Structure 1
């Protein structure tokens, strides 16, 4: 199976059209079309459904993409970095992290300055990702994770604080115990369909009704800063708003749980040079 043809096949799936794949690879559309036709003939299976808006992989095409695209990307990265020294590292690094995850953004910023020829694309989301299907090289997620197809390494411990807008406290009063939080509108991160959140502080646990929920930390932060709800934020973000006198810490004497941040990447024996450099960089910064 021709590697150049597989490279073109991967480009078509990722861009959704032959013309965009042609722009990305610099290969004429006619050549791409001919090579894909030859690949389909060789495999004796249809790889794409042709549509007016472009092309979409068939079920068989998607399976082939899942199997080969990381290997093709690694080969392309290897071609770019082979015989180059570390400072000339070139290629694309695709990461994912929760929104407003400042430790990760700081690492990415420093890595980008150290390796200016590496293009970095960051997908900021809390949703669960398939590293292969979503074309993510390195992901950062909160909470201990295990899996057969990825390696997870702890890189940080994130503290939290409960905060509220002074005007909201003027309306509702200031809670002094965990149980008193039941009298306040709570904003929190939650999955769709969840209607309560379990809070634990000082070994005391309580289930609280959720007034506003989102799968995006920034949305929760926005609602709290507007004075509509109280809720929990990362200590770093909370301290910024407290310093601006926009928020006040509540229940400061209660012990808040910490959350562990993990770095995930595919469990390949030979990761790409860029992924290997980034993983080593983060681990150096985290220790």
Structure 2
């Protein structure tokens, strides 16, 4: 057991702008300066709090984050873009409790193509990001660890519209791994809870009642790849799928109602394992089958 108390104050100033430097070229940039002051005290016992202050820490840090980007219009329907961002994460109370008081660096580079036509709009984005990360002691089973990660991947996002029918598709494919760690055995492992792929497709069809209103039938199919429940990659979280279906009716009078069915096949997807004991048969599941009925009125 432990007893702790902390106060934090953050002050920041930022500026961002964009410039149309040519007919088809736009640039933008942003800058943020942030200051944080943290006071933290801790009583850990031993065993349970005993009234003796075991740690008293005061921290003040100043950091700058920034981003630059460019967007080029290749044609009336096709464009390309690129962005670089350099950010940070200040330590939280849990970090300070474990004597991890450094500022974590975060960087991301992304670029891609975007298309907007009569029937199709789509984005394809390639990305690479690096993060400094920290895991706390949880339940006395997992030690505190500082580590660095890198993720390289591609995101696909598109919508096809033909008359009253529309389908949205999103997909992410990535390789997220640990590149450095206090515990050398973690290096080259996959980052916990991060699937190598996930995919969603959401079709809908709208029926027009004329002067009466509209009814939209919609659904979503979600597919998520397998993950690991811990950075040691010893606990496997299997892949899962989830199917949702619903109907939304809007009347011109302002009245509307919706029936939504979630996880209709009662899938047993697990989003994360037990951080207190990775080998325990515990986890956080997605919710089971449910049906929700909503009635409302728009004034």
TM-score by shorter chain over 0.5: no
Higher strand share: 2
Q: Name the TM-score class by shorter chain.
A: under 0.3
Normalised by the length of structure 1, the TM-score is: 0.17
Q: TM-score, normalised by structure 2?
A: 0.17
Relative contact order: is structure 1 or structure 2 higher (C-alpha 8 Å, sep ≥ 6)? 1
